[in-house]
Structure 1
Amino acid sequence: MSEKSFVEYAWDFLERGSVLVVTLSGPANLRLMDPENFAAYQDGEQHKFHGGLARRAPYRIKVPHSGPWYLAIDLDGLGARGVRHSVDVQEPVKFEP
């Protein structure tokens, strides 16, 4: 089995409702995963993720629950050689009465 090639972003804690705003120079697969699914992804095993194929930037992914998160950016199946990327985190809006 060939080793998986990807770029990893990691956060010890993201709050539910935060939004990752991913800017890309070309199409890429974006996979937001909790630690368990990220470990399965690294091992080439079945895993669950939020995100998908990003064809246009910025691409937004909403964090479904609070906790640690990993974002993998890969080009699997795209036939591309590289893509520039950046990720910003927008905290959830808090309404005060």
Structure 2
Amino acid sequence: MNFIWDEIGSCAGGAHFTLELKGSAARVCLMDADNFQAYRDGEEYEFHGGFWESSPADLVVPYDGYWFLVIDSNPGTIRYWLSAPSD
């Protein structure tokens, strides 16, 4: 499984993001800093999001924190556009 990631940074709980995917279906994961580190270390982690076969993927930040976006996909090219958060 290939993955790409993006550092979103500090966000307030309740902020909404819209993710546009281009390429193949993907698992979209919104993770706080601790879970992102666990993901990279191959340890157990939790995420918010799910599997999307088509756009748009709507994400809601569950609580105030520092956030990372991870997109897992099958081999191939994935492009994405993440909208600015809205309250």
After TM superposition, the score normalised by the length of structure 2 is: 0.88
* Structure 2 letter corresponding to 1:52: G
Structure whose alpha-carbon radius of gyration is higher: 1
Partner of 1:36: 34
1:2-23: CA deviation from partner (whole Å, max 9, x where unpaired) = xx74211112211111111110
Check the 8 A contact 1:18/1:89 in 2, yes or no. no
Q: What corresponds to 1:54 in structure 2?
A: 52
> Which stretches in structure 2 are left out of the alignment for 5+ residues?
none
Distance 1:11 1:68 in 2: 7
Match of 1:6 in 2: 3
SS class of match (1:6): strand
Aligned pairs for 1:64-83 within 5 A: 64-75=62-73, 78=74, 80-83=75-78
Q: Which has the higher contact order (CA 8 A, sep 6+)?
A: 2
Matched letter for residue 71 of structure 2: I
Q: What is the total number of aligned residue pairs between the two structures?
A: 86
- In structure 2, C-alpha distance between the alignment counterparts of 1:50 and 1:90, rounded to whole Å: 16
- Unaligned regions of 5+ residues in structure 1, if any? 93-97
Identity %: 31
Length-normalised TM-score, structure 1:
0.80
Could you tell me how far 1:86 is from its partner in structure 2?
A: 1.2
* Structure holding more strand per residue: 2
